[in-house]
């Protein structure tokens, strides 16, 4: 891992979805370490039994919530597990332990995952105002 190392233990201290998003945002760095013609490597990794175990552990820890934030439960669409620190071909080839470590993984929706990678809050799902007792206005 190079640069700023993002960790779950730091992320979980942040209470709001927005704070967690800001912590994880890569600001368009997705193109830095992609797999190009070697996409078979990450496809093999993401279908491995080890990845499936790690993925399930992260979903359970995050209670199926986007960025692990209560109130952002993911009921529709796929739950994605995001590597908080981008992985490279070399990481896969050398079998780095951290790529399966829940300390460096978080549950996201596809929209949130894309927003993290492309650095745009406009891609995030809209926030629905919470209803309160006595609230008689329809949104």
Task: List, for residues 92-129, the tens digit of each pLDDT value.
Answer: 889 899 999 999 999 999 999 989 988 778 777 666 66
Question: Tokens 């692990």 — which residue?
Answer: 68
Task: Identify whether the C-beta of residue 54 lies closer than 8 Å to the C-beta of residue 75.
Answer: no
Question: What is the structure's pLDDT at 74?
Answer: 92
Task: Let me know if 81 is exposed, middle or buried by CB neighbors in 10 A (0-12, 13-18, 19+).
Answer: buried
Higher pLDDT, 43 or 111: 111
- pTM of the predicted model as reported, rounded to 2 decimal places: 0.81
Contacts of 105 (CB under 8 A, 6+ apart): 8, 54, 55, 58, 81, 82, 83, 84
Upper half-sphere CA count for residue 75 (Cβ side, 13 Å): 3
Structure tokens at 125: 């799902």
* pLDDT at residue 14, as a whole number: 96
């Amino acid at each position: 891992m190079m640069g700023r190392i993002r960790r779950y233990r730091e992320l979980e201290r942040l209470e709001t979805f927005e704070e967690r998003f800001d912590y994880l945002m890569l600001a368009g760095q997705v193109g830095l370490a992609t797999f190009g013609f070697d996409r078979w490597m990450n496809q093999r990794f993401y279908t491995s039994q080890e990845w499936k175990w790690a993925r399930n552990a992260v979903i359970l820890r995050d209670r199926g919530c986007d960025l692990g934030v209560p109130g952002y439960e993911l009921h529709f669409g796929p739950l994605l597990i995001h590597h908080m620190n981008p992985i490279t071909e070399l990481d896969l080839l050398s079998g780095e332990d951290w790529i399966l470590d829940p300390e460096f993984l978080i549950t996201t929706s596809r929209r949130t995952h894309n927003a993290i990678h492309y650095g745009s809050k406009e891609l995030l799902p809209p926030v629905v105002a919470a209803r309160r007792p006595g609230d008689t206005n329809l949104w």
